[in-house]
């Protein structure tokens, strides 16, 4: 099994309801997002998938996130835009847009800082 990974950044605001700490207040992060894909077959060029495609699709997903208040997105209307839920949101959006067969999406990690990371996967 092979894996390939890309990382990109976006900036956004959020606040966490029922957190009982300073994150209850509106604040911002420069979120780092790491996307991992996996597969057992390489293309004729010996690659699992095109990094450029992964990056451009990820940037497309960021259009609804970058420089927004994440609490305003309908996806988060029934809960908090925590790093875990942001990872889930990005994973689900990438599943709709990323066409890299026979490789498949494996993991989305969201870094609020270099020390604080949450992720989402189906497998
Ligand atoms: Zn925060």
**Catalytic position from the list 23, 68, 84, 104:** 23
Q: Which residues of 81-107 are buried (b: 16+ CB within 10 A; e: fewer)?
A: bbbebbbbbbbebbeeebebeebebbb
Q: Tokens 């959020």 — which residue?
A: 14
Bond from prior residue into 82 cis (ω within 30 degrees of 0): no
Q: State yes or no: pLDDT of 121 exceeds 80.
A: yes
This model's pTM is above 0.75: yes
User: How many A from CA of 103 to the centre of ligand 1?
Assistant: 32
Q: Is residue 49 annotated as a catalytic residue, yes or no?
A: no
Q: For 66-120, how does the pLDDT look when each residue is reduced to its tens digit (9 = 90+)? A: 999 999 999 999 889 999 999 999 999 999 999 998 999 999 999 999 999 999 9
User: How many A from CA of 30 to the centre of ligand 1?
Assistant: 10
Q: For 26-64, how does the pLDDT look when each residue is reduced to its tens digit (9 = 90+)? A: 999 999 999 999 999 999 999 999 999 999 999 999 999
**Which candidate, 104, 90, 88, places its Cα nearest to that of 7?**
90
Q: State yes or no: pLDDT of 20 exceeds 90.
A: no
Q: Is residue 112 annotated as a catalytic residue, yes or no?
A: yes
Q: In order of start, what are the domains of the chain with their CATH numbers?
A: 2-120 (3.30.479.10)
């Amino acid at each position: 099994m092979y894996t390939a990974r890309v990382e990109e950044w976006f900036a956004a605001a959020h606040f966490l309801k029922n957190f009982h700490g300073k994150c209850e207040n509106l604040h911002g992060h420069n979120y780092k997002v790491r996307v991992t894909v996996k597969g057992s077959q390489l293309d004729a060029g010996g690659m699992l998938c095109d990094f450029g495609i992964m990056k451009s699709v990820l940037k497309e997903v960021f259009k609804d996130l970058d420089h927004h208040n994440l609490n305003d997105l309908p996806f988060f209307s029934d809960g908090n835009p925590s790093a875990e839920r942001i990872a889930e949101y990005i994973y689900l959006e990438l599943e709709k847009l990323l066409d890299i067969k026979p490789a498949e999406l494996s993991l989305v990690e969201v870094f609020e800082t270099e020390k604080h990371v949450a992720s989402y996967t189906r497998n």
